[in-house]
Structure 1
Amino acid sequence: MPNLYLIPTSLGECDFSRILPAYNTGIVTALRYFIVEDVRTARRFLKKSNPAIDIDSLTFYVLNQHTSPEELSGFLKPMFDGNDIGVLSEAGCPAIADPGADVVAIAQRHNFTVVPLVGPSSILLSLMASGFNGQSFAFVGYLPIQPDERSKALKKLESRAYSENQSQIFIETPYRNMKMLEEILRVCQPATRLCIAADITLETEFIKTNTVKEWKTKLPELSKRPCIFILYKS
């Protein structure tokens, strides 16, 4: 039975030996078919994983917001012919805040073996370092862009952090990070705790937990940096 390998990638420019097991390289090197978010990024990752890989001999299927259901179904055709396939996201773990879940669902329906490989997840790494509740947490992805709706969403997450004793994890497009931070500090209670985790696993990694009141005295520079925000009760 062929395998669908979910292959984590780096969260930025870093030493792969720090974040990815050597076992992954063996798996990647043996594969000839890949479902990827971006071909150029995938080729760069594969070549860095193993410079000896013959990139031109590989087949890539692009999975993004423009991929139709009909195209998606055809991506697993090599598996019906007995071939393994790898799924690569742009950064981090496939199917977690990234495309891939629909492909996995199709593979599961056809009883193919799905193999998640070990690698960095910014969501879990930030939660581990936050000091917040790691037994009950929610990842809610992106919040609304419109200011009024975003404020309501933040208040709702803060309320859940208190009423359910639950860590509330969310993200923002890097160039809007500072606007998000300013909104959090405006909307949330002074005693509510906020963990900001930026550039995780990179040399410029920054992970810090403060109260909203404490953050107001000194704002970190988050523009264009991949970032995770976590709210939790005081």
Structure 2
Amino acid sequence: MYSSGVLYLCPTPIGNLEDITLRVLRILKEVDLIAAEDTRQTLKLLNHFDIRKPLISYHEHNKASCGAKLIDELKTGKNIALVSDAGTPGISDPGEDIVKLCIKNDIKVIPLPGASALITALIASGLDTREFVFEGFLPLKKKDRYEKLRGLSEEKRTVIIYEAPHRLVDTLIELKNYIKNRNIVIARELTKIHEEFIRGHIDDVIKKVENGVKGEIIILIEGYKEVIKMSPEELLSKYIEEGMDKKTAIKLTAQKLNIPKREVYKLTI
């Protein structure tokens, strides 16, 4: 049973200020305290909507000490809103840590829906949205980066990566060594005046951005598709010989070769 205050996870606009929700505005006005990744950035937002609330800085470098203070405040019954610089807190930021602390201390956490850069980019990418994986920023250490990129080379889901504009071209050239000439999408400056989606095979996209781009960058990568050099008859026979039942073999053959099941079924008649 909860007996303390509540931590509200409040998404803020990723560019266009109109994208904040009415519910987030209400919560920001009602809470006792707002914990912000960058208080200067958040203050601009609060001033725009004429919200006057105490601010406390909570970020990657002070999350241990400040997290403890926030828990103490919540235990006294104060309600706190957590915001990041932009988008939904708790994704690729220290919001994840304070949520874990709240759960450990039996403090209620209420997530509010709202702006998210990775979802905004994904739904307009034209790539598969049924299955996807978010990787955040790629590791900078060579060994960790190599392991991550090697894993992405056969990732069948759509991959979403954040990247800084000054590193974009180098990262794309590096990625090409692992994903070959797969389709990718560069989404930049989402919801802002200069919002842009750059789509195509990675070679083509590299040419389009080689002179540099500005703004917040998201890279989306088409999932790996296994190339099978077998005819439907050969693949179907292979599965059946391996002991697979006919119905499953037909379904899997159709999936692997991206052809209708009825075409495979005809081979068994």
SS of 1:27's partner is helix
Residue 8 of structure 1: which of 4, 8, 11 is its match? 11
Q: Is the CA contact 2:128–2:158 (under 8 Å) kept in the aligned structure 1?
A: yes
Q: CA deviation at 1:159?
A: 1.6
Aligned-partner Cα distance in 1 for 2:100–2:161: 24
Aligned pairs for 1:160-179 within 5 A: 160=155, 165-179=156-170
Q: CA deviation at 1:4?
A: 1.0
Aligned-partner Cα distance in 2 for 1:80–1:24: 22
Which whole-Å deviations, capped at 9, do the CAs of 1:179-203 have from their partners, x for residues lacking one? 223333455312x111111111111
Q: TM-score, normalized by length of structure 2?
A: 0.73
Alignment of 1:212 onto 2:215: no
Amino acid at match of 1:7: C
Aligned pairs for 1:1-234 within 5 A: 1=3, 2-12=5-15, 14=16, 16-17=17-18, 19-48=19-48, 50-51=49-50, 53-54=51-52, 58-67=53-62, 69-145=64-140, 150=145, 153-160=148-155, 165-185=156-176, 187-190=178-181, 192-219=182-209, 223-232=213-222, 233=224
Structure 2: any 5+ residue segments left out of the alignment? Answer: 226-269
Moved more, 165-174 or 94-103: 165-174
Q: CA deviation at 1:62?
A: 1.7
Amino acid at match of 1:189: K
Aligned-partner Cα distance in 2 for 1:110–1:148: 37
Aligned-partner Cα distance in 1 for 2:76–2:141: 47
Q: Is the CA contact 1:151–1:187 (under 8 Å) kept in the aligned structure 2?
A: no
* RMSD, matched Cα: 2.3
- Relative CO higher for 1 or 2, CA cutoff 8 Å, sep ≥ 6? 1
Q: CA deviation at 1:146?
A: 5.4
Amino acid at match of 1:179: D
Of the two, which has the highest radius of gyration? 2
**What's the % identity of the aligned pairs?**
25
Amino acid at match of 2:109: V
Q: TM-score, normalized by length of structure 1?
A: 0.83
Aligned-partner Cα distance in 1 for 2:212–2:116: 19
How many pairs does the alignment contain?
A: 221
- CA gap of 1:29–1:222, structure 2 versus 1, over 3 A, is farther
- CA gap of 1:216–1:71, structure 2 versus 1, over 3 A, is closer
SS of 2:154's partner is helix
Which whole-Å deviations, capped at 9, do the CAs of 1:136-175 have from their partners, x for residues lacking one? 2211122133568646633431222xxxx21111112233
